[in-house]
Amino acid sequence: MNKEVKFSLVFRDMWQSAGKYVPRVDQLTKVAPAIIEMGCFARVETNGGGFEQVNLLFGENPNRAVREWTKPFHEAGIQTHMLDRALNGLRMSPVPADVRRLFYKVKKAQGTDIARTFCGLNDIRNIAPSIQYAKDAGMISQCSLCITHSPVHTVEYYTNMAYELISLGADEICIKDMAGIGRPHSLGRIVANIKQKYPEIPVQYHSHAGPGFNMASILEVCKAGCDYIDVGMEPLSWGTGHADLLAVQAMLKDAGFKVPEINMSAYMKVRSLIQEFMDDFLGLYISPRNRMMNSLLIGPGLPGGMMGSLMADLESNLESINKYKAKHGEASMSQDELLIKLFNEVAYVWPRVGYPPLVTPFSQYVKNLALMNVMQMEKGKERWSMIADDIWDMLLGKAGKLPGELSPEIIAIAEKEGRKFFTGDPQDNYPDALDDFRALMRKRGWDTGKDDEELFEYAMHPSQYEAYKSGKAKEDFNADVAKRRNEKASAGETVLPSTPQTLTVNVNGQAYRVTVAFGDVAGQAVQPAASQNAATQAAPAEAGAGKEVLSPLEGKFFMVKNASDTPLKVGDTVKEGDILCYIEAMKTYNAVHSEFSGTITSICLSNGEAVSEDDVLMIIQ
């Protein structure tokens, strides 16, 4: 009998690779029956990574979303799988061990069968606990080899990594070619080596289409014995997404593989629903460029799952650069020019920071570092002048061992700033925290949820969960959708926001928060600007009193990075160099340090509030 190859639909990743958001839960449950009716999928990727954070940004409960989304697939006998970032769980930064352990229990209870675990550094120390946690929860442990192309990432490197993971108890291996830059011949050799020693271990191949290798890679890994292939479908396949189901099926059928047939009537239903969701609001966050394949991606090796958000980031960063250039009488820069500068800077940065595989969160770290370098240098500042705390954790070894060596210039910066390198187990840096979050929830009167799922969500995504609970997340999301629709509207009547918008205005040096309603809505009282947290509320500063602390970049303002940290407040004394607050941008928290000593006389923004570069964050006297 010809070798059988099964298909897995990476529905979540299709959206993440195309843009910023995934469908709402009502849309997910609407499309699920048609996906099942297609009759060709053994597996569907239902959650993980950006999925739950996106739900929180919508103002939706991600636990409800996972339960309702996985249910119809279970009933149809289709396995569900999620993406798990090992030490980082479902977020960009490391997670305490007790939160990681609860993660698997919650997701299994919610209906997820398979945990696809990867470490962005391929550090097996970070993956090993997840194997046991998944098994303890009754899940299938699928461990990933994060594929990239560098002098240190050889066939032997990946083969030995797979052998070690299997010896630790991994049930399956995923070849995670997250940027699609794995070379077909080498990938085939890796799969053949695994199958030769462990023929009973299922192997699944995941790849993005962007650089143009992945159809050849799919054929090579199938010839070598691969069991499952991740696929996407129109209108979200190709480009920064995945190879299309129809093309993969036709290619493998012609090569003699046994592949499932596709109910084309149901296929067209799913295709139409995807377009319907895009027309609703999701298309507002999808750059047309992400539909294109681009061999320029071979050089920087950036993953498809990140390209959607990258193009959105470039819009705001290009605006920031061009504002600076306009102020200084310089010619403006185009998005293409910025993109090429970014790709070139990634190629410069990557080997100097030790060749971390370009997958979440380290792809974002390398990209962010490169983008910050470009922005700083375009504004006449030095390279490496802004490195976020999370990026330093990667460089110092706190997140795991880098595959390569750091360059002398990075080591010199670390020594100059008094930073210490770490060689121990990364998990030791992040002590258990569930009891702290349990206490916070009890204090706020919040239910820990069925199977402690709300406790898990709060501990995994503290700031996003608080914004969700307060209603601010939904308010901000609706405002952003309205803004984008307004921008997209062609000539004719202006499309005004459908919900009241909160603005900060400055009158004679006094910051005020003003709620502006559009249409026939009762007026709102004008009140002084204040932080959402009573502990950080601002006392008005007299006009001209003190020095302004300006935002170094565009993003969202937060007083603290972790919910358990104590924020500064008006009246606190700070020293030069102290961390005052954070700007969350491009999925990392960037510390804002005080440039002078003094007393905080005003905090001008609320937690989670959007800021532009050079906005006043605080006043210090």
Q: Which of 242-256, 257-271, 333-347, 389-403 has the lowest mean pLDDT?
A: 333-347
Q: In the structure, what pLDDT confidence band is assigned to residue 504 with cuts at 50, 70 and 90?
A: low
Q: Which 3 state secondary structure label does DSSP give 602?
A: strand
d(CA 441, CA 574): 30
Find the mean pLDDT for residues 25-53.
Answer: 93
Residue the block writes with tokens 């093309």 = 247
Q: Which 3 state secondary structure label does DSSP give 522?
A: coil
DSSP secondary structure letters along 168-217: TT-SEEEEEETTS-S-HHHHHHHHHHHHHH-TTS-EEEEE--TTS-HHHH
The pLDDT assigned to 163 comes to 98
pLDDT in tens, 442-459: 999 999 999 999 999 999
Find the mean pLDDT for residues 30-56.
Answer: 91
Q: Could you say which DSSP state residue 527 is in?
A: E
d(CA 61, CA 81): 19
The pLDDT assigned to 538 comes to 43
d(CA 621, CA 619): 7
Give the other-Cβ count within 10 Å of 134's Cβ: 26
Q: Which of 292-301, 338-347, 463-472, 510-519 has the lowest mean pLDDT?
A: 510-519
Handedness of CA 487, 489, 490, 493 (dihedral sign): negative
The more confidently predicted of residues 214 and 488 is 214
pLDDT in tens, 566-611: 899 998 999 988 889 998 876 678 888 898 899 999 999 888 888 8
Fold of 502-620: OB fold (Dihydrolipoamide Acetyltransferase, E2P) (2.40.50)
d(CA 148, CA 125): 19
Find the mean pLDDT for residues 141-156.
Answer: 95
Query: pTM score, two decimals?
Result: 0.78
The pLDDT assigned to 565 comes to 79
- In the sheet that 555-558 helps form, which strands lie side by side, from edge to edge? 588-593, 579-585, 555-558, 610-611
Q: In the structure, what pLDDT confidence band is assigned to residue 505 with cuts at 50, 70 and 90?
A: low
Class of domain 6-291: alpha beta
Residue the block writes with tokens 């939904």 = 474
The pLDDT assigned to 193 comes to 98
pLDDT in tens, 341-357: 888 888 899 999 999 98
pLDDT in tens, 546-558: 889 988 877 889 9
5 close to 228: Cβ distance less than 8 angstroms: yes
Beta strands at 610-611 and 555-558: parallel, antiparallel or unpaired? antiparallel
d(CA 397, CA 425): 9
Q: Could you say which DSSP state residue 358 is in?
A: S
Does the pLDDT of residue 516 top 60, yes or no? Answer: no
Indicate left, alpha or beta for 587 from its phi (over 0: left) and psi (-120 to 50: alpha): left
Q: Which of 71-75, 270-274, 617-621 has the lowest mean pLDDT?
A: 617-621
The pLDDT assigned to 593 comes to 87
Q: In the structure, what pLDDT confidence band is assigned to residue 491 with cuts at 50, 70 and 90?
A: very low
Q: Which 3 state secondary structure label does DSSP give 280?
A: helix
Q: In the structure, what pLDDT confidence band is assigned to residue 539 with cuts at 50, 70 and 90?
A: very low
Does the pLDDT of residue 368 top 90, yes or no? Answer: no
Q: In the structure, what pLDDT confidence band is assigned to residue 531 with cuts at 50, 70 and 90?
A: very low
Find the mean pLDDT for residues 499-509.
Answer: 54
Q: In the structure, what pLDDT confidence band is assigned to residue 129 with cuts at 50, 70 and 90?
A: very high
Both structure tokens of 217:
């890679």
The pLDDT assigned to 159 comes to 98
The more confidently predicted of residues 275 and 303 is 275
Domain ranges across the chain: 6-291, 502-620
Give the other-Cβ count within 10 Å of 464's Cβ: 22
Indicate left, alpha or beta for 427 from its phi (over 0: left) and psi (-120 to 50: alpha): alpha
Q: Could you say which DSSP state residue 530 is in?
A: -
Find the mean pLDDT for residues 61-65.
Answer: 91
Compute the chain's Rg from CA coordinates: 24
Which residues on adjacent β-strands are paired with residue 498?
Answer: none
d(CA 525, CA 516): 10
The pLDDT assigned to 287 comes to 81
Same fold: 6-291 with 502-620 = no
Residue the block writes with tokens 């102290």 = 578
Beta strands in 417-465 (DSSP E): none
Contact residues for 502 (Cβ-Cβ < 8 A; gap 6+): 475, 513, 514, 515, 516
First to last CA, the chain: 79
Mean pLDDT, the chain, whole residue set? 87
Residue 120: burial class (beta carbons within 10 Å; 0-12, 13-18, 19+): buried
Q: In the structure, what pLDDT confidence band is assigned to residue 267 with cuts at 50, 70 and 90?
A: very high
Q: What are phi and psi of 433, to 5 degrees?
A: -140, -5
